[in-house]
Amino acid sequence: RPANSLTLNNITYPTDSHTNIPANLPAYLAQGGLHLKPSHPLSTTRQTIESLFPASQYEVYNSLPPVVTVAENFDSLCFPADHPGRSRSDTYYVNRDTVLRTHTSAHQAEKFRAMSGTQKPGYLISADVYRRDAIDRSHYPVFHQMEGARVFPRGGAASGNYGDSGVAAEIMREVEAMEVPNLQVVESCALHEEPVNPVQLAEQHTPEQAEAVAKHLQRQLELVVSRVFGEAAAATGAGAAQEKLQVRWISGYFPFTSPSYELEVFWNNEWLEVLGCGVIRQDLLNRAGQGDKIGWAFGLGLERIAMLMYGIPDIRLFWSQDERFARQFRDGVVRRFEPFSRHPACYKDVTFWVPAAAATTAGEEFHENDFMEVLRGTGGDLVEDVKLIDKFIHPTTGRTSLCYRITYRSLERTLTNPEVDSLQDSFRAALQNKLGLELR
Ligand code: PHE
């Protein structure tokens, strides 16, 4: 293939100075997402959650391709031009106009548009998503999200006056019909901001409507966590200290919802964030031809939930080819993961001077995610964790030195010393060659 192109799932894309897809990534795209792999815990987790949304109301999309435009992933969702999510240090760019989706929200605009055709007022999307990030037991450059949305008629479409109070009452009737077992909301934030975010007010959202939609959203998601954490408690014996699952609603921020919330669950003695959601920005619905609707959307990470449901301690396990992993799981069955024996870890430190901007190979500042990616390239799944353990500023030159500790550990076997030494040598060499770092 020509050097200035890249082929992903049989489609060839031109590359440019924005391209930052590492050589090991296309193989993950080719798998099409673990949420569809038979018997896989991510697939069962997806199905468990899907079962809580009536099929008559929610269209399900589970195989949308992962390569999307910058317009779909960011612009259509009102991400500001300087939002950090857009940076090359956080996002995988195929080229300047094309990315690997960083979230399932990349499909919102398209699927709102499709609603007129499907006639269903909601959808669910599960998919593999891609982000440049740290290395530890809960972060991996590929993970899976489920997104859902639901819209309601706003009334008054003919007159162009949407302040109809019957709309809120209609939505509240549905809310009252949803019963959530074994759950206690211990804390809640305001359902709408005061005044309702100007982008919503400008589109004639009344506080009553915004509140009714938010209530519906919260009730539906409380149903999801009540079921999922009930399964988790039954399978793993872990869980809530109280008889009822305790949850709290926290005010959040997403560029494409207003108001926005995060849902946290009290689990194993800590508050755990499980999802983000909110009332869909009306201008987004308007642009998708759904101006006569008002609605909500949420997004959650499937790995995080599956790790709790099955007691899976390390995100790398989801990708394991080891029979000892695969043979533990059956479609639709949630049970505690029996870890195979834990192999010893090996720690290696690396110390280097942070380059002055102009000195690096790429002519850019040092980004930690670049460091992580070089390490994923040389160490692959044998790297368990990376921590910054020391930062030092030279008193006279003012230069900064960083020291990172790398934990090497295989989930499947014991690593030998020469093997780890050689991995670390390749890593050091790559830091010099690829990032132009001056090692100490
Ligand atoms: N896409 C958001 C994320 O990845 C989650 C989200 C989805 C929030 C839909 C609001 C509505 O963090």
Q: For the chain, what is the mean pLDDT?
A: 93
pLDDT surpassing 60 at residue 1? no
Q: Rounded distance, CA 110 to CA 287, Å?
A: 10
Residue of minimum CA distance from atom 10 in ligand 1:
277
Q: Are the beta carbons of 114 and 64 closer than 8 angstroms? A: no
What distances in angstroms separate CA 375 from CA 350, 367, 368, 369, 382, one per listed residue? 11, 13, 11, 10, 10
Q: Are the beta carbons of 256 and 74 closer than 8 angstroms? A: no
Site to substitute for ligand 1 among 72, 105, 220, most atoms within 8 A of C-beta: 105
Q: How many CB atoms lie within 10 A of CB 250?
A: 15
**Cα–Cα–Cα angle for 29, 139, 111, rounded to 5 degrees:** 50
Q: What is the pTM of this model?
A: 0.94
pLDDT surpassing 80 at residue 380? yes
Site to substitute for ligand 1 among 150, 151, 254, 274, most atoms within 8 A of C-beta: 254
Shortest-distance atom of ligand 1 to CA 280: 11
Residue 47 pLDDT: 97
Residue 242 pLDDT: 66
Ligand 1 centroid to Cα of residue 184, in Å, is 24
Shortest-distance atom of ligand 1 to CA 104: 1
pLDDT bin (cut points 50, 70, 90) of residue 376 is very high
Shortest-distance atom of ligand 1 to CA 296: 11
Shortest-distance atom of ligand 1 to CA 276: 8
Q: Is 104 exposed, middle or buried (0-12, 13-18, 19+ CB in 10 A)?
A: buried
ipTM of the predicted structure? 0.99
pLDDT surpassing 60 at residue 419? yes
Q: Are the beta carbons of 400 and 391 closer than 8 angstroms? A: yes
pLDDT surpassing 90 at residue 199? no
Which residues make beta-bridge pairs with 136? 139
pLDDT tens-digit map of 247-290: 999 999 999 999 999 999 999 899 999 999 999 999 999 999 99
Residue 161 pLDDT: 78
Site to substitute for ligand 1 among 147, 220, 275, most atoms within 8 A of C-beta: 147
In 3D space, the residue among 55, 47, 58 whose CA is nearest the CA of residue 123 turns out to be 58
Residue 193 pLDDT: 75
Residue 165 pLDDT: 74
Ligand 1 centroid to Cα of residue 143, in Å, is 14
Q: At what angle do helices 302-310 and 41-50 cross, to 10 degrees?
A: 100
At position 127, the amino acid (one-letter code) is A
pLDDT tens-digit map of 286-318: 999 999 999 999 999 999 999 999 999 999 999
Q: Rounded distance, CA 293 to CA 306, Å?
A: 33
Residue of minimum CA distance from atom 9 in ligand 1:
298
Mean of pLDDT values over 135-145: 97
Q: How many CB atoms lie within 10 A of CB 88?
A: 19
Mean of pLDDT values over 324-347: 94
Residue of minimum CA distance from atom 2 in ligand 1:
299
Mean of pLDDT values over 198-209: 88
Ligand 1 centroid to Cα of residue 257, in Å, is 9
Q: Rounded distance, CA 66 to CA 32, Å?
A: 9
pLDDT bin (cut points 50, 70, 90) of residue 236 is confident
pLDDT bin (cut points 50, 70, 90) of residue 160 is confident
Question: What residues does ligand 1 touch, defined as CB less than 6 Å away?
Answer: 103, 105, 147, 254, 257, 276-278, 297-299
Shortest-distance atom of ligand 1 to CA 149: 9
Q: Is 56 exposed, middle or buried (0-12, 13-18, 19+ CB in 10 A)?
A: exposed
Mean of pLDDT values over 170-191: 93
Q: Rounded distance, CA 294 to CA 286, Å?
A: 10
Residue of minimum CA distance from atom 5 in ligand 1:
299
Q: Rounded distance, CA 306 to CA 314, Å?
A: 11
Ligand 1 centroid to Cα of residue 251, in Å, is 13
Could you please report the per-residue DSSP string of 316-367? GGGG---HHHHTT--TT------PPPPPPPEEEEEEEEPPPGGGSTTSS---
Residues written for the chain: 440
Shortest-distance atom of ligand 1 to CA 275: 5
Q: Are the beta carbons of 368 and 134 closer than 8 angstroms? A: yes
pLDDT surpassing 70 at residue 361? no
Q: Rounded distance, CA 426 to CA 222, Å?
A: 48
Shortest-distance atom of ligand 1 to CA 102: 4
